[in-house]
Amino acid sequence: MATIGEVAQAAGVSRSTASNVLSGKKATSLEIQRRVRRAVEELGYTPNAGARALATSQTRVIGLLAHFFDDEFAPAMLQYILGVSNTARELGYDILLVSEADGAHALKRITDSLMVDGVVLLNVADQDDRLDVLRAAKRPGVLVGLPGDPTGVDVFDLDFAEAGRLMVEHLARLGHRELLLVSQPDHVVERGGAYVWRLRDAALAEARTRGLALHAVSGASSQPQVGEDMRAALDAHPGVTGLLVNNEAAAAALPFVLRERGLEAPRDMSVIGRYSNEFARTFSLPFSSIESAPDRLGQLAVRQLVRRIESPDAREAAHGVWFISPELVDRGSTGAPRSVPSD
């Protein structure tokens, strides 16, 4: 492995000059910069992260705290991780993925050390025990997901309440009077998954305002149970003509559930999901959906974090909460309701 001394020798400059070019600590001529960077490329030199941290107090590493829960759909979580890691790489940062169960302890460990320059928190709970640690940390952090108390932290999230209202409003305008909402598993709610009840409660309130019947149920996070949950819900509410899905596993299973019942969207059942375009492509889902934008959320979160890391002014700026407005992607799965025979 090449050393900084070998880079300096190949570039025809002193060791300190080569170091200054790579760290950006002192101005150097464009010609010297080109020679040093050409030597770096030719020799395959990689700066030592520990030495760089001691010299500059920066590691160019971002900590990403995420859990892979059994009761959540793993492919959906991976999209958020990719959004963070891709943007970090674009901005010249590496990612340290931390997934241990004791998130508060892990967060304190990596922020008290020189392991990372900042952190991104996923799986944010309504009452998240990592937040007090983050507020007191020596490193800045940002959340993807809205906690109950966002004071003193930067937060990015989809406006789930507005998403719930938009889903109901869209089907109400088409003439639907009875709807079914399939949400995440109960354990997600019990763990503090506020996005579940934010969408659900707003959808229920919008339905009441419009005089619609909306039945809210939970579904499992995997097959075959999620398919059985949807079959049971449809059997319990035969008058439903519109289906709202805030559960990625349920959305992935829905084409099979409808097919086995001889139903088509939108002929027999109008459907609106809540997931990303990439998720729809991966599972070949033909349903209209609210774009959940995990890649965009990750991008916005990392860019804000890097601003805090690199800019003294940004470091001292007030924290805030930023929502992405929901957008309905029309894939032709909604229409006027079918006629329901009266008794």
For 176-224, what is the HEC assignment? CCEEEEEECCHHHHHCCCHHHHHHHHHHHHHHHHHCCEEEEEECCCCCC
| Cα–Cα distance measured from residue 95 to residue 129, given in angstroms and rounded to the nearest whole number | 22
Instruction: Compute CA distances 248 → 113, 256, 276, whole Å.
Output: 37, 14, 10
Q: Residue 342: is its pLDDT beyond 50?
A: no
User: pLDDT grade, residue 48 (50/70/90)?
Assistant: low
Closest by Cα among 68, 117, 76 to 94: 117
How would you label 16-37 residue by residue, b for 16+ Cβ within 10 Å and e otherwise? ebbbbbbeeeeebeeebbebbb
Each residue of 60-73: pLDDT tens digit?
899 999 987 776 67
Single pTM value for the model: 0.81
Kindly report which listed range (123-137, 231-245, 259-273, 308-322) carries the lowest average pLDDT score. Answer: 308-322
pLDDT of residue 343: 42
Residue range 154-169: mean pLDDT, rounded = 98
pLDDT of residue 43: 85
Q: Residue 29: is its pLDDT beyond 90?
A: no
| Cα–Cα distance measured from residue 160 to residue 125, given in angstroms and rounded to the nearest whole number | 14
Task: Mention every residue, 6+ apart, whose C-beta is less than 8 A from residue 64.
Answer: 81, 84, 85, 95, 96, 97, 98, 119, 120, 122
Tokens read off for 62 = 């971002």
Q: Residue 49: is its pLDDT beyond 70?
A: no
Each residue of 164-199: pLDDT tens digit?
999 999 999 999 999 999 999 998 999 899 999 999
Q: Do domains 61-158+294-324 and 160-292 have the same CATH topology?
A: yes
Q: Which fold has domain 160-292?
A: Rossmann fold (3.40.50)
Residue range 62-88: mean pLDDT, rounded = 86
pLDDT of residue 227: 95
Tokens read off for 225 = 């149970």
Domain locations in the chain as residue ranges:
4-47, 61-158+294-324, 160-292
Q: Residue 337: is its pLDDT beyond 90?
A: yes
* Strand-pair category, 288-291 with 328-329: antiparallel
Q: Residue 154: is its pLDDT beyond 80?
A: yes
Residue 182 sits at φ, ψ, to 5 deg, of -105, 115
| Cα–Cα distance measured from residue 50 to residue 115, given in angstroms and rounded to the nearest whole number | 8
Residue range 13-21: mean pLDDT, rounded = 83
| Cα–Cα distance measured from residue 150 to residue 284, given in angstroms and rounded to the nearest whole number | 36
Residue range 143-157: mean pLDDT, rounded = 97
Q: Residue 47: is its pLDDT beyond 70?
A: no
Cβ pair 179, 214 in contact under 8 A: yes
| Cα–Cα distance measured from residue 142 to residue 76, given in angstroms and rounded to the nearest whole number | 20
Q: Residue 25: is its pLDDT beyond 80?
A: no
Amino acid at position 20, single letter: N
Q: Residue 298: is its pLDDT beyond 50?
A: yes
Residue range 39-45: mean pLDDT, rounded = 83
Q: Residue 101: is its pLDDT beyond 90?
A: no
Q: Residue 52: is its pLDDT beyond 60?
A: no
Closest by Cα among 217, 215, 206, 216 to 169: 206
pLDDT of residue 174: 97
pLDDT of residue 65: 95
pLDDT of residue 37: 84
Q: Residue 78: is its pLDDT beyond 90?
A: no
Q: Residue 4: is its pLDDT beyond 90?
A: no
pLDDT of residue 305: 96
| Cα–Cα distance measured from residue 110 to residue 268, given in angstroms and rounded to the nearest whole number | 53
User: pLDDT grade, residue 1 (50/70/90)?
Assistant: low
pLDDT of residue 57: 61
Each residue of 206-242: pLDDT tens digit?
999 999 999 999 999 888 999 999 999 999 999 999 9
Place of tokens 């080569």: 18
| Cα–Cα distance measured from residue 340 to residue 243, given in angstroms and rounded to the nearest whole number | 15
Write down the mean pLDDT value for the chain. 90
Place of tokens 């305002």: 209
Task: Mention every residue, 6+ apart, whose C-beta is less than 8 A from residue 62.
Answer: 84, 88, 93, 94, 95, 96, 116, 117, 118, 119, 120, 302, 305
User: pLDDT grade, residue 54 (50/70/90)?
Assistant: very low
Q: Residue 269: is its pLDDT beyond 70?
A: yes
CATH of 61-158+294-324, one of 3.30.530.20, 3.30.420.10, 3.90.950.10, 3.40.50.2300: 3.40.50.2300
Each residue of 220-229: pLDDT tens digit?
988 899 999 9
